[in-house]
């Protein structure tokens, strides 16, 4: 019953969520900054967009980030900013500012379902503390940045609608524009963080659940799986683990050995091996290695050569040929599993016996 | 506007991870503490900030990968120790030389991974990073960066990395940011405009050198640069003239438009070269940060830093008095076999480290 409920729940989850961008743990950000002195209408519009983006993100029926995105409002925002700034600046003309505003208007109008870029208006101190200047630009258009000369700084003070240094006016413009992109950009970063969290868990599974590797094994896996690691994005663990000169302790049985010497502890060296640690064609983690085995038994060659097969990242069974005599070996884990099963069977037998008596 | 967030990435060596403190706050790790001490000392040299701490202006975060590397090397050592004895016994008993000898040797080397000597706590970090273990570190660093970009404003996250940390940071950012990011991507990349960082500080930058080993991403052609095509507003590259780790495959782009447009290079990139020797280890993070040549632009970028030119000059003059007489000559002498090279090798990397250790020891013991 539990399983059926789980499947139904999973089905409903997929149907209602579709594309799985991650809202879990995301809280919308409300802009609570002080009121923009010179551009309150821009700030109000920016905050409205921010709220609309939030509503779209948290809508229960949303299938992707683009669904419900206030596309038209954002596209119109660039024009609104330009018109408001033009009106407020009056006769003050800052050439670089005009270029920046045109860039902003154009960039918000691009993109199909939502804008590719939602830049911030930056007002920055220059890089050198010994040459203090104020720079301004929209992110993405730094190449056309403007900087305020002393002469330009004073222009705004002379304007009746401003009566403040230009740097102060521009900072107020940043304050006003800033909120429009806050939730959209925070959410996409949050989604990236959540997806990377899943990758990190895969890595944890690799190091905790896959076969333990020596440093040499790790180095050889890095080399052989290099195409996996050299992609253009952050990656999880590879599908395959590789092993070279990997030692192991096993229990071997040689049927043709002298009586009392058939089953002995032995050491194996995997010359080279591969393990599909997560899944494989047989429906479970599976690995295979070319193996040499060393054991001490009269009338049987000490050294045998053969293969080892790994199941579920821990159980190993193998075959080795000692100069014509066959040996079958198992890992200690597998032996322990057999022992546990034998003990379990013995316990059942005792229980049944007790009941019958 | 919220306080700027500063993420710190340590270099090679032993560093404790940040932990949980009372009232849900984070207790800084050893690298964070080193940074806070050095940055606060630098800040307090200026009269207006004598009673201030760097934490009054900046929210400090750390990404620690050493604790995980440490755990890995100790686990490898423990497994190998158990296996080593059995291998030795069997190899001796059967008179088998190969491959048991070789496997025994490898196992024996790995059994020493648990030792806390310089090789295992420093060089092994670099070796580990060049393997797939580095890929896991980059994913975790990416999570931390994405977390800060989520919680702080665009342009309000700054990152400072030292030594090996510069390679970790470079490679992570290169794989995390992409301009052509598609909203339908399985893992959405961060966007160079929408998630722009405030500034990046590469202290003793070895990202090109490490890349010559990993071949992962060329720092001269990656998204880790200032300007419109880059992931940060400002980029600071810091090196000491006598830090031999920065002599190999040096990151030193020129202003010819090839790396970033010339106007961006001039306004958003700064190459800081220090030369004062206040402690023998010229690769030391704290020595870098204590130097006003680094502290000045750093404080200017992340704090209000209302300081006159005269006071800046005075602080520099005072600091230069701490310079150790004769130390520069000792370093020059110790490094006489080392060369500034476009392509560095493992051997030269190790040589640089050894020469620096010798010189630092000599200076520490009174030249």
Both tokens assigned to A197: 């969290």
What is the per-residue pLDDT for A189?
Answer: 93
Q: What is the side-by-side strand order in the sheet with B232-240?
A: B59-63, B5-9, B157-162, B197-203, B232-240, B269-274
pLDDT by residue for chain A (357 residues), tens only, comes to: 444 444 444 333 333 333 456 778 888 988 888 999 999 999 999 999 999 999 988 887 777 767 788 988 999 999 999 999 999 988 888 889 999 999 999 999 876 666 678 999 999 999 999 988 899 999 999 999 999 988 888 888 888 888 999 999 999 999 999 999 999 999 989 999 999 999 999 999 999 999 999 999 999 999 999 999 998 899 999 999 999 989 888 889 998 888 888 888 888 899 999 999 999 999 999 999 999 998 888 888 889 999 999 999 989 999 999 999 999 999 876 656 666 666 666 776 777 677 666
Q: Point out the residue among B107, B133, B228 whose CB comes nearest to the CB of A247.
A: B107
The tens digit of pLDDT for each residue in B311-321 reads 999 999 999 99
Residue B204 and residue B10: Cα distance in Å, rounded? 11
What is the per-residue pLDDT for B186?
Answer: 73
Q: Cβ of B99 and A245 within 8 Å?
A: yes
Q: Does A135 touch chain B (CB under 8 A)?
A: yes
CB A311 within 8 Å of CB A290: no
The domain at B5-67+131-366 falls in which architecture? 3-Layer(aba) Sandwich (3.40)
Q: Point out the residue among A127, A214, A230 whose CB comes nearest to the CB of B110.
A: A214
CB B58 within 8 Å of CB B3: yes
CB B352 within 8 Å of CB B362: no
What is the per-residue pLDDT for A153?
Answer: 87
Where does residue B81 fall: left (phi above 0), alpha (psi -120 to 50 degrees), or beta otherwise?
Answer: alpha
Phi, psi of B242 (to 5 degrees): -110, 30
CB B162 within 8 Å of CB B204: yes
Query: Min CA distance, B286 vs chain A (Å)?
Result: 21
Q: Does A233 touch chain B (CB under 8 A)?
A: yes
Residue B246 and residue B251: Cα distance in Å, rounded? 8
Q: Cβ of B106 and A216 within 8 Å?
A: yes
Residue B27 has a CB neighbour count (10 Å cut-off) of 13
What is the per-residue pLDDT for A261?
Answer: 84
Query: Min CA distance, B288 vs chain A (Å)?
Result: 18
Residue A107 and residue A102: Cα distance in Å, rounded? 9
Angle between helices A95-109 and A71-89 (to 10 degrees): 170
Q: Does B188 touch chain A (CB under 8 A)?
A: yes
Query: Which parts of chain B sit beneath pLDDT 50?
Result: none
Q: Does B170 touch chain A (CB under 8 A)?
A: no
Sign of CA dihedral A41, A46, A49, A54: negative
> Residue B345: which of B161, B172, B126 has the closest Cα?
B126
Both tokens assigned to A54: 């939030």
What is the per-residue pLDDT for A249?
Answer: 83
Q: Which of A193, A230, A240 to mutate to test the interface with B (most CBs of B within 10 A)?
A: A193
Q: Cβ of B188 and A191 within 8 Å?
A: yes
Q: Point out the residue among A21, A139, A195 whose CB comes nearest to the CB of B154.
A: A139
In chain A, the residue whose alpha carbon lies closest to the alpha carbon of B307 is A129
Residue A149 has a CB neighbour count (10 Å cut-off) of 12
Residue B39 has a CB neighbour count (10 Å cut-off) of 27
> Residue B63: which of B126, B136, B113, B127 has the closest Cα?
B136
Residues 153-212 of A with CB under 8 A from B: 178, 181-182, 184-193, 195-197, 199-200, 203, 207, 212
Q: Cβ of B142 and A234 within 8 Å?
A: yes
Q: Point out the residue among A66, A117, A246 whose CB comes nearest to the CB of B191.
A: A117
Q: How long is chain A?
A: 357
Q: What is the side-by-side strand order in the sheet with A121-125?
A: A121-125, A134-138, A146-148
Residue B184 and residue B175: Cα distance in Å, rounded? 17
Which ipTM did the prediction report? 0.90
Q: How many CA atoms lie within 13 A of B114 on its CB side?
A: 12
Phi, psi of B305 (to 5 degrees): 40, 65
Query: Min CA distance, A89 vs chain B (Å)?
Result: 24
Q: Which of B75, B175, B186, B188 to mutate to test the interface with A (most CBs of A within 10 A)?
A: B188
Q: Cβ of A119 and B193 within 8 Å?
A: yes
pTM (global) more than 0.80: yes
Kindly list the residues from chain A whose CB atom is less than 8 angstroms away from the CB atom of residue B176. 192, 233-234
Q: Does B101 touch chain A (CB under 8 A)?
A: no
User: What 3-state DSSP class applies to A103?
Assistant: helix
Query: Min CA distance, A129 vs chain B (Å)?
Result: 6
Pairing mode of beta strands B59-63, B157-162: unpaired
SS3 content of chain B, % helix, strand, coil (to 5): 50, 15, 35
Kindly list the residues from chain A whose CB atom is less than 8 angstroms away from the CB atom of residue B80. 214
User: What 3-state DSSP class applies to A324?
Assistant: coil
Q: Where are the beta strands (DSSP E) in chain A?
A: 121-125, 134-138, 146-148, 240-254, 263-276, 286-294, 303-311, 315-322, 325-331
Q: Point out the residue among B130, B189, B268 whose CB comes nearest to the CB of A192.
A: B189
Q: Cβ of A186 and B228 within 8 Å?
A: no
């Amino acid at each position: 019953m539990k399983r059926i409920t789980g499947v139904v729940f999973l089905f409903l989850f997929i149907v209602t969520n579709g594309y799985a961008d991650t809202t879990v743990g995301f809280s919308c950000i409300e802009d609570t900054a002080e009121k923009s002195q010179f551009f309150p209408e821009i700030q109000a519009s920016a905050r409205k967009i921010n709220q609309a983006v939030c509503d779209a993100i948290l809508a229960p029926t949303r299938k992707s980030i683009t669904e419900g995105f206030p596309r038209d409002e954002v596209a119109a925002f660039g024009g609104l900013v330009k018109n408001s700034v033009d009106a407020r600046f009056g006769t003050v003309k800052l050439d670089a500012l005009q270029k920046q505003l045109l860039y902003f208007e154009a960039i918000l109008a691009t993109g199909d379902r939502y804008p590719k870029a939602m830049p911030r208006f930056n007002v920055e101190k220059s890089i050198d503390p010994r040459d203090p200047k104020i720079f301004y630009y929209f992110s993405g258009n730094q190449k056309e940045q403007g900087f305020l000369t002393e002469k330009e700084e004073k222009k705004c003070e002379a304007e009746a609608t401003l009566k403040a240094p230009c740097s102060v006016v521009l900072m107020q413009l940043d304050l006003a524009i800033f909120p429009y992109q806050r939730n959209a950009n925070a959410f996409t970063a949050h989604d990236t963080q959540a997806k990377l969290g899943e990758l990190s868990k895969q890595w944890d599974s690799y190091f905790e659940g896959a076969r333990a590797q020596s440093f040499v094994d790790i180095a050889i896996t890095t080399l052989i799986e290099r195409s996996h690691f050299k992609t253009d994005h952050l990656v999880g663990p590879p599908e395959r683990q590789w092993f070279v000169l990997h030692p192991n302790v096993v229990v071997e049985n040689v049927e043709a050995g002298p009586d009392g010497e058939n089953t002995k502890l032995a050491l194996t060296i995997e010359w080279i091996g591969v393990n599909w640690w997560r899944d494989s064609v047989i429906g479970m983690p599976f690995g295979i290695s070319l193996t040499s085995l060393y054991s001490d038994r009269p009338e049987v060659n000490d050294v045998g050569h053969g293969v080892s097969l790994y199941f579920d990242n821990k159980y190993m069974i193998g075959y080795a040929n000692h100069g014509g005599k066959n040996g079958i070996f198992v890992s200690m884990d597998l032996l322990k599993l057999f022992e546990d099963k034998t003990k379990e069977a013995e316990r059942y037998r005792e229980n049944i016996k007790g009941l019958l008596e | 506007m919220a306080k700027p967030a500063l993420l710190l990435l340590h270099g090679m060596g032993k560093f404790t991870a940040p932990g949980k403190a009372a009232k849900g706050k984070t207790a800084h790790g050893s690298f964070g503490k080193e940074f806070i001490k050095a940055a606060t000392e630098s800040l307090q040299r200026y009269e207006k900030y004598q009673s201030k701490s760097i934490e009054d202006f900046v929210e400090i975060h750390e990404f620690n990968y050493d604790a995980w590397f440490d755990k890995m090397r100790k686990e490898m050592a423990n497994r190998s120790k158990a296996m080593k004895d059995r291998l030795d016994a069997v190899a001796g008993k059967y008179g088998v030389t190969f491959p048991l000898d070789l496997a025994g040797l490898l196992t024996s080397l790995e059994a020493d991974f648990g030792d806390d000597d310089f090789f295992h706590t420093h060089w092994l970090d670099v070796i580990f990073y060049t393997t797939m273990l580095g890929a896991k570190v980059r994913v975790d660093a990416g999570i931390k960066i994405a977390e800060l970009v989520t919680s702080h404003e665009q342009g309000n996250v700054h990152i400072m990395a030292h030594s090996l940390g510069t390679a970790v940071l470079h490679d992570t950012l290169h794989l995390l940011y992409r301009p052509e990011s598609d909203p339908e991507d399985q893992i959405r990349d961060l966007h160079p405009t929408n998630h722009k960082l405030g500034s990046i500080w590469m202290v003793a930058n070895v990202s090109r050198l490490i890349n010559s080993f990993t071949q992962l991403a060329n720092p001269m052609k990656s998204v880790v640069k200032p300007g419109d095509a880059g992931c940060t507003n400002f980029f600071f590259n810091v090196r000491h003239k006598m830090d031999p780790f920065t002599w190999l495959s040096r990151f030193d782009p020129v202003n010819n438009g090839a790396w970033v447009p010339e106007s961006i290079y001039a306004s958003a990139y700064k190459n800081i070269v220090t030369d004062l020797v206040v402690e023998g280890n010229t690769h030391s993070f704290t020595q870098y940060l204590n130097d006003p040549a680094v502290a000045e632009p750093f404080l200017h970028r992340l704090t209000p830093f209302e300081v006159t030119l005269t006071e800046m000059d005075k602080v520099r003059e005072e600091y230069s008095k701490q310079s150790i007489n004769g130390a520069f000559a000792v370093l020059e002498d110790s490094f006489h076999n080392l060369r500034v090279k476009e392509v560095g090798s493992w051997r030269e990397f190790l040589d640089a480290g050894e020469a620096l250790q010798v010189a630092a020891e000599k200076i520490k013991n009174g030249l």
